[in-house]
A and B are shown apart, each in its own frame.
Chain A
């Protein structure tokens, strides 16, 4: 990896309601930014199935590329159909959390991140 590259090697599949939180909701995107994680946003639960299904497939396809290269990948929040979409690409068993507070999410990110974010691919 290029020495000037700032990536964190950590990627979270994150529910839409944590990217676009309601007032007083958990700001998952802010937590990821603070902890040095990237985000793959899951389709909104408001989307009809025919819109969400292809988006979930794209999420899974991209996730497989990160897991195959040894990036730390986790799931934050819940999205119906995600497990099936990931399984279609051979991805399962990702660490996950449905956070009840920002503090719980922050702890999870720290525990899941491991200690060596600069590992080579």
Chain B
């Protein structure tokens, strides 16, 4: 039975991306179509980076953002999202989470990592920063839900910013999550 999909902010609002990251003017239509066709409701999560480092932020890896202050910020956002997730879970609705693979904040299975990155923002093209793991907001959301006694929803991530992005594969992943 269809439920509620909590989606990363940028998947409905590409204006929140840092410069160079927007794949379309606003709404990432393939995700919305996949959810709508299967009867799922949509709930948008906030963008952790937008309100913390702003629209003019540089691309960043996880280590650059992983400070106590950023984690407190993410936890504040996570409390809001977890409260909404809890409403749906307590009502017996199915909930899934769709993040953004490769993101230092919203990655579900793939984040960005480079312990050496810092200083003047220049690095070789093709720098290998993608690595297994979740983003900082996803970590904090998982912790916040655990404190509330709410199970972390099934989760996957949109892959459109990964170099090996494959549209049909991305859709398969979404459908697999929706179908449990």
List chain A positions with a Cβ less than 8 A from chain B: 1-2, 4-11, 19-20, 29-30, 32-33, 36-41, 43-44, 46-48, 50-51, 54-55, 57-59, 61-62, 65-66, 69, 71, 117, 121
CB pair B87–A38 under 8 Å, yes or no, is no
Q: How far is the CA of A10 from the CA of B26 in the complex (A)?
A: 8
List residues of chain A with CB within 8 A of the CB of B29. 33
- How distant is B54 from chain A, measured CB to nearest CB, in Å? 6
Among A19, A33, A51, A57, the residue within 8 A (CB) of B42 is A19
Among B17, B19, B21, B27, the residue within 8 A (CB) of A33 is B27
With A29-B12, A66-B55, A69-B55 as contacts: A51 and B87 at CB distance below 8 Å = yes
CB pair A33–B26 under 8 Å, yes or no, is yes
Among A4, A36, A58, A69, the residue within 8 A (CB) of B20 is A4
Mask: chain B, 1-12; 1 = CB below 8 Å from A; 0 = not: 000000001001
Closest to B54 in A: A65
Given A2-B20, A51-B87, A55-B83, list of 16 further CB < 8 A pairs?
A: A6-B22, A7-B15, A11-B13, A19-B12, A33-B27, A38-B26, A38-B27, A40-B9, A46-B87, A47-B83, A54-B80, A55-B80, A58-B80, A59-B46, A62-B46, A65-B50
CB pair A40–B22 under 8 Å, yes or no, is no
Q: Which of B7-42 contact A (CB under 8 A)?
A: 9, 12-17, 19-27, 29, 32, 41-42
Among B9, B21, B41, B46, the residue within 8 A (CB) of A20 is B41
Q: How far is the CA of A121 from the CA of B24 in the complex (A)?
A: 17
List chain B positions with a Cβ less than 8 A from chain A: 9, 12-17, 19-27, 29, 32, 41-44, 46-47, 50-51, 54-56, 77, 79-81, 83-84, 86-87
CB pair A37–B25 under 8 Å, yes or no, is yes
- Which 5 A-B residue pairs are closest in the complex by CB-CB distance? A8-B25, A2-B20, A38-B13, A38-B26, A36-B25
- How distant is A118 from chain B, measured CB to nearest CB, in Å? 10
- How distant is B90 from chain A, measured CB to nearest CB, in Å? 11
Q: How far is the CA of A10 from the CA of B14 in the complex (A)?
A: 10
CB pair B13–A6 under 8 Å, yes or no, is no
List residues of chain B with CB within 8 A of the CB of A51. 80, 83-84, 86-87
- How distant is A105 from chain B, measured CB to nearest CB, in Å? 14
CB pair A55–B84 under 8 Å, yes or no, is yes
Name the residue in A9, A30, A55 with the highest tally of chain B Cβ atoms < 10 Å from its Cβ: A55
Q: How far is the CA of A49 from the CA of B87 in the complex (A)?
A: 12
Q: How far is the CA of A41 from the CA of B9 in the complex (A)?
A: 9
List residues of chain B with CB within 8 A of the CB of A117. 25
List residues of chain B with CB within 8 A of the CB of A44. 43, 84
Name 28 interchain pairs, CB-CB below 8 A, sorted by A. A2-B20, A5-B20, A5-B22, A6-B23, A6-B25, A7-B22, A8-B25, A11-B26, A33-B32, A36-B25, A36-B26, A37-B27, A38-B16, A38-B27, A39-B12, A41-B12, A41-B43, A41-B44, A47-B83, A47-B87, A54-B79, A55-B46, A57-B80, A65-B51, A65-B55, A69-B56, A71-B15, A117-B25
